[in-house]
Structure 1
Amino acid sequence: MTLETDLNTATLAARQAGDLLLRHWHDRGSLTIDEKRPGDFVSQADHGAEALLRDRLIQPGDGWLGEETDQIQGSRRWIVDPLDGTTNFLRGIDQWAVSVALEQDGKLVLGVVHDACRSQTFSAIAGGPLLLNGQPVTQPPVPAFHNCLFGTGLPFGNMPHIPDHARDLCRVLPHSAGVRRMGAAALDLAYVAAGRLDGFWERTLRPWDIAAGLVLLRAAACQVEGWSPGEAPEQTGTVITARTPHFDRFAKLLRDWS
């Protein structure tokens, strides 16, 4: 099976999961909601979407890492977040996505992030190009640094790093056109890849939050590291990324205080 075939399969599965989620979205008042930890929710919409994705994606011998179900070991492994942005979804905020990645022999080789509310599917195979609804994406011009718009995720509840992130914002905000916290990391990474955001950072994300987005970023030739120079986000879940002309300055702003 080729990666192009896998990409077609993953894209179709993500869109089908998105259709299922949209049906729940329009009837979300009837969902049963559980709290996994303070501020972290799950519903039958998440479970139903993940079951659909497992059914559509897994072939004999494939591994699996999903947010809501048990792992399956395999040298070829699907890494899936069936509903990234569950809190937004449950509150009626239309910033959520289906995220699907494929890892082979420890390397991410395919990523799909599907925004069901806007019928926009970002996808790529390692090595590019970045696609939006199957067509190559042309990035807009890179603005001057002081006109850059950055994205982030904010810790909440009893999560660590709240003071750290407050310091991050104090360093980034005076030098930029603003920071957005939109609540779905997979879409944030896709937006950086497509040039809608100029950079993004967040600490200690889970593999299913970032796997597909990392493929998209690399396909779009964005620079991506962890908190330390040269560190891969796959190792720690911490991501610093920006469009290449501004990565060094952006990373320095974030790292210098720590």
Structure 2
Amino acid sequence: MPSTFSPVPSGLAASPFAAPFAAQLPRILEIIRESGALVMDHWRKPRNIRLKGRIDLVTETDLAVEAFLKDRLKDVVPGATFMAEESATSRTPQGTCWIIDPIDGTTNFAHSLPFVATSVGLWHEGRVVLGVVNAPVLGECFWAVRGGGAFCNGEPLRVSDREPLEQAVVATGFPYTISEDVDTVLARLRKALVTTRGVRRCGAAAIDLAFVASGRFDAFYEADLKPWDTAAGWLLVEEAGGCVTGFDGAPYDFTNEGILASNGRVHEAMRAVLAL
């Protein structure tokens, strides 16, 4: 398997436009590389799965990767707190806070589907300033620092320039509350299917957002996501030149009904699709 990491572009940490903690990026990437090796070790073994809800799964890998990241990252930014999926008691980050999804795409992982990622965002002074989405099975690591651009395996990312919406490929996901919200989900999906070139579903929001940042998808929308699903990918899209809002166009801040991320060119058209 090819390495998922390339050297950090020279001069990034010294850039006057880069966010606080950019200097720690190489260390953060190394820690996340090691967590990816843990994911791959578990990938080759039988899964130990339990239910958190009717269709919401957790595996021993989720727990092991979360524990590993919390242990290793705690000394990178002294005093930073953690909001991690399997142990979070709040969905509102405060101060300086690591926002972690150890395995985004747990259902994919449980079924040996390769769209699996670890998402790590660093929240500071009211915004995400650093984000990493590592997809070890795919062999790709996406990362960004605020003011420093977005990258995949060390290569710079840029959102697509595709428009109009009828030429766009759009990604979406379905909430764990699908049985209660199926009518709303299907109403939006129907509009997306007939107004775009196609709709895709990876089953991992962090990967969907990374694919928007890389220009593979032209837009992504999903309702009822949590901060650990979107923190890192949100920054990736913005640093790659894209746009991220709520469904109604309001600034995205983890409290919106849903997230809409796009290349910017199809954003207003997608807002119309999502309006009910």
Q: Which amino acid is 2:227 matched to?
A: P
CA distance in 2, matches of 1:188, 1:158: 19
Q: Match of 1:41?
A: 57
CA distance in 2, matches of 1:162, 1:239: 18
Query: How far is the alpha carbon of 1:35 from its aligned partner?
Result: 0.3
Query: How far is the alpha carbon of 1:205 from its aligned partner?
Result: 0.3
For residue 253 of structure 1, give the secondary structure of its aligned residue in structure 2: helix
8 Å CA contact 1:147, 1:177 repeated in 2:
yes
Cα distance change, pair 250–203 in 1 and its aligned pair in 2 (3 A): same
CA distance in 2, matches of 1:140, 1:74: 33
Query: How far is the alpha carbon of 1:3 from its aligned partner?
Result: 2.0
CA distance in 1, matches of 2:101, 2:149: 23
For residue 11 of structure 1, give the secondary structure of its aligned residue in structure 2: helix
CA distance in 1, matches of 2:213, 2:206: 11
Q: Match of 1:58?
A: 74
The normalised TM-score by structure 1 is: 0.92
1:169-194 per-residue CA deviation (whole Å, 9 max, x = no partner) reads 11111111111111000000000011
Structure 1 gaps, min length 5: none
CA distance in 1, matches of 2:185, 2:88: 31
Query: How far is the alpha carbon of 1:147 from its aligned partner?
Result: 1.8
Cα distance change, pair 239–179 in 1 and its aligned pair in 2 (3 A): same
Q: Match of 1:20?
A: 38
Structure number with the higher helix fraction is 1
Q: Match of 2:147?
A: 127
Q: Match of 2:9?
A: none
Q: Which of residues 210, 230, 237 in structure 2 aligns to 1:190?
A: 210
Cα distance change, pair 230–77 in 1 and its aligned pair in 2 (3 A): same
CA distance in 2, matches of 1:25, 1:19: 10
Q: Which amino acid is 1:35 matched to?
A: L
Q: Which amino acid is 1:84 matched to?
A: D
Cα distance change, pair 19–178 in 1 and its aligned pair in 2 (3 A): same
Query: How far is the alpha carbon of 1:5 from its aligned partner?
Result: 2.5
CA distance in 1, matches of 2:170, 2:190: 13
Aligned Cα RMSD in Å? 2.0
Q: Match of 1:213?
A: 233
8 Å CA contact 1:206, 1:237 repeated in 2:
no
Cα distance change, pair 244–128 in 1 and its aligned pair in 2 (3 A): farther
Between the aligned residues of both structures, percent identity stands at 33
Cα distance change, pair 24–133 in 1 and its aligned pair in 2 (3 A): same
For residue 124 of structure 1, give the secondary structure of its aligned residue in structure 2: strand
Query: How far is the alpha carbon of 1:74 from its aligned partner?
Result: 5.6
CA distance in 2, matches of 1:141, 1:228: 22
User: Which 10-residue stretch deviates more, 226-235 or 16-25?
Assistant: 226-235
Structure 2 gaps, min length 5: 1-12, 14-19
For residue 250 of structure 2, give the secondary structure of its aligned residue in structure 1: coil
For residue 146 of structure 1, give the secondary structure of its aligned residue in structure 2: helix
Is residue 6 from structure 1 mapped to residue 34 from structure 2 by the alignment?
no
User: Which 10-residue stretch deviates more, 231-240 or 200-209?
Assistant: 231-240
Is residue 222 from structure 1 mapped to residue 242 from structure 2 by the alignment?
yes
User: Which 10-residue stretch deviates more, 137-146 or 46-55?
Assistant: 137-146
CA distance in 2, matches of 1:129, 1:252: 29
Q: Match of 1:146?
A: 166
8 Å CA contact 1:97, 1:116 repeated in 2:
yes
Cα distance change, pair 219–86 in 1 and its aligned pair in 2 (3 A): same
Query: How far is the alpha carbon of 1:47 from its aligned partner?
Result: 0.7
Cα distance change, pair 198–19 in 1 and its aligned pair in 2 (3 A): same
8 Å CA contact 1:225, 1:240 repeated in 2:
yes
The normalised TM-score by structure 2 is: 0.86
Is residue 83 from structure 1 mapped to residue 99 from structure 2 by the alignment?
no
